[in-house]
């Protein structure tokens, strides 16, 4: 039996061989494809009569393949937690090396859209869940049901998966929820019951509560509904009121019709309730800040779970977390936060599969939740967290998402839908005729859908 020391340059001229990826230059650049490298190795093996023993260490170990990932620059805790998770992934296996680039959040969606149009998306990137259907419709994303096992996808809460026409294209580690925050001492002072999942406030009861407080404190604005904010807050925060009242932003069966849905009698009723908050001076039209609840200027704050830490630190056990109001068909909360997607141009789908499976493990979801306070998206992960386990002080948010979550419409038309609804609600806030404002929104949405040939839904519409 003969032993041979193989010269790397015979197989990979100009560099070192990598078992998975071909030949590398001394600087780490691929200089020979895996196919060509393996062909040379087979020819050399054949020439030696099938007896080939490697004495060169670089042939025993493959250099990991570099896989590019983009993400938005977020709050410090989330960014630090995500970078730590990526480092753990890189350390625990030697097949892939995930290389991260962060981009400014303010222009992030525009940046990834431009990259998609130029064919320059990285293998893996994050995106806000509502934009996922547009990227999928445009052919920029790889379906995840081809990369991730069904049992992994099926265990996720609704907001942890982004879909287009029933196919998953994105996944997320966390979600957020809507809620009513109050102080127990203030509720008791006014003789107001504490709402619960078993008995949430109806919209009528909530209106009566606000009117009671206003009568006692005429100069106050009893509720803060984040009316200082515009943009996506309006669809995320107020769209669920429509769904709770039996209306919606669009017909979810056809995904091509808003008429009779967004401008329906039910939708107009919700919009009238909203407008009445400002006309009766129960909520401020243009708050100067978002500190009304903290400073005692508002008894209630309708907002997201992202305020929970700030309020818990400030008020301790006096803080009460209650479900959103019920407009007739049960409380509803929006769902879907930042997700991970895989570009259709990704050269390493196995790497994307391994990375996303790693992020969706219970331990990684729990680690992200503990670091950021965000809601974990599986029950088994929730049980590992400090605050969302069965007896945790924030378990209620997990329960809200599990019981009440309705995704924002998963259609490429969503950006237009959101913008049209935003304009309608701002106009209504400042006194515009409700039916007229909703009709204008409907016309704008349906014009966009028809101009884009249904965004892929026309052929499936009844």
For residue 452, count other CB atoms closer than 10 A to its CB.
16
Is residue 21 within 8 Å of 65, Cβ to Cβ?
yes
Quick one: pLDDT at residue 273?
A: 98
Residues 189 and 265 in one domain: yes
Separation between Cα atoms, residue 173 and residue 384, nearest integer Å:
14
β-strands 174-175, 375-376: how paired? antiparallel
Residues 271 and 295 in one domain: yes
Residues 172 and 182 in one domain: no
404 occurs within a structural domain: no
Quick one: pLDDT at residue 180?
A: 98
Quick one: pLDDT at residue 230?
A: 92
Using CA atoms, how far residue 370 sits from 52, 393, 400, in Å, is 51, 13, 19
Taking the model in full, what pTM does it have?
0.84
Nearest-5° angle of CA 263, CA 265, CA 270? 85
Quick one: pLDDT at residue 65?
A: 97
Quick one: pLDDT at residue 52?
A: 39
Report CA 398 to chain centroid distance, whole Å.
15
Quick one: pLDDT at residue 164?
A: 97
Q: Which residues of 17-52 are buried (b: 16+ CB within 10 A; e: fewer)?
A: bbeebbbbeeeeebbbebeebeebbeeeeeeeeeeb
pLDDT in tens, the chain (462 residues): 332 233 333 334 333 333 333 433 334 444 333 433 333 333 333 433 443 334 444 444 569 999 999 999 987 899 999 999 999 999 999 999 999 999 999 899 999 999 999 999 999 999 999 999 999 999 999 999 999 999 999 999 989 999 999 999 999 999 999 999 999 999 999 999 999 999 999 999 999 999 999 999 999 999 999 999 999 999 999 999 999 999 999 999 999 999 999 999 999 999 999 999 999 999 999 999 999 999 999 999 999 999 999 999 999 999 999 999 999 999 999 999 999 999 999 999 999 999 999 999 999 999 999 999 999 999 999 999 999 999 999 999 999 999 999 999 999 999 999 999 999 999 999 999 999 999 999 999 999 999 999 999 986 544
Burial of 426 (0-12, 13-18, 19+ CB in 10 A): middle
Separation between Cα atoms, residue 14 and residue 29, nearest integer Å:
10
Quick one: pLDDT at residue 274?
A: 98
Residues 202 and 115 in one domain: no
Q: What total of structural domains would you count in the chain?
A: 3
399 occurs within a structural domain: no
406 occurs within a structural domain: no
Structure tokens at 450: 């028809």
Separation between Cα atoms, residue 74 and residue 237, nearest integer Å:
21
Quick one: pLDDT at residue 458?
A: 83
Q: Which domain CATH number covers 196?
A: 3.40.190.10
Residues 427 and 288 in one domain: yes
Separation between Cα atoms, residue 354 and residue 89, nearest integer Å:
9
Residues 270 and 195 in one domain: yes
403 occurs within a structural domain: no
405 occurs within a structural domain: no
Separation between Cα atoms, residue 173 and residue 168, nearest integer Å:
15
Nearest-5° angle of CA 354, CA 348, CA 113? 100
Q: Which domain holds residue 15?
A: 8-59
Quick one: pLDDT at residue 3?
A: 29
């Amino acid at each position: 039996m003969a032993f041979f020391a193989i010269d790397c340059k015979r197989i990979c001229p100009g560099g070192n061989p990598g078992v998975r990826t071909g030949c590398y230059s001394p600087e780490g650049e691929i200089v020979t494809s895996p196919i060509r490298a393996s062909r040379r190795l087979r020819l050399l093996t054949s020439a030696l009569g099938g007896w080939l023993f490697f004495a060169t260490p670089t042939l025993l170990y493959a250099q990991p393949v570099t896989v590019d990932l983009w993400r938005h620059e977020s709050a410090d805790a989330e960014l630090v937690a995500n970078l730590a998770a990526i480092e753990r992934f890189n350390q625990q296996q030697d097949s892939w090396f995930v290389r991260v680039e962060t981009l400014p959040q303010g222009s992030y969606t525009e940046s990834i859209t431009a990259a998609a149009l130029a064919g320059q998306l990285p293998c893996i990137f994050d995106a806000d869940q509502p934009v996922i259907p547009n990227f999928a419709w445009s052919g920029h994303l790889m379906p995840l049901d081809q990369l991730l096992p069904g049992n992994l996808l099926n265990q996720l809460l609704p907001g942890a998966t982004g879909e287009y026409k029933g196919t998953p294209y994105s996944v997320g580690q966390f979600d957020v929820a809507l809620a009513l925050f109050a102080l127990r001492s203030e509720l008791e002072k006014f003789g107001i019951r504490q709402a619960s999942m078993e008995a949430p406030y109806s919209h009528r009861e909530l209106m009566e509560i606000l009117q009671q407080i206003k009568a006692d404190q005429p100069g106050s604005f009893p509720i803060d509904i984040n009316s200082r904010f515009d943009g996506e807050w309006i669809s995320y925060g107020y769209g669920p009121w429509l769904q709770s009242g039996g209306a919606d932003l669009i017909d979810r069966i056809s995904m091509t019709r808003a008429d009779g849905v967004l401008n329906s009698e039910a939708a107009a009723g919700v919009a009238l309730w909203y407008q009445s908050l400002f006309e009766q001076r129960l909520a401020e039209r243009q708050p100067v800040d978002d500190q009304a609840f903290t400073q005692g200027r508002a008894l209630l704050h309708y907002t997201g779970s992202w305020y929970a830490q700030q309020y818990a630190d400030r008020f301790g056990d006096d803080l009460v977390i209650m479900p959103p109001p019920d407009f007739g068909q049960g409380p509803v909360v929006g769902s879907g936060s930042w997700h991970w997607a895989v570009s259709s141009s990704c050269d390493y789908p196995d790497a994307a599969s391994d990375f996303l499976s790693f992020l969706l493990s219970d331990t990684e979801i729990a680690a992200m939740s503990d670091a950021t306070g965000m809601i974990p998206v599986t029950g088994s992960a929730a049980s590992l967290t400090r605050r969302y386990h069965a007896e945790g002080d924030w378990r209620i948010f997990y329960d809200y998402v599990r019981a009440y979550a309705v995704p924002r419409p998963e259609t490429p038309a969503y950006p237009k839908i959101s913008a049209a609804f935003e304009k309608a609600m701002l106009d209504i806030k400042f006194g515009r005729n409700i039916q007229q404002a909703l009709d204008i929104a409907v016309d704008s949405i349906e014009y966009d859908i028809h101009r884009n040939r249904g965004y892929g839904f026309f052929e499936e519409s009844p």
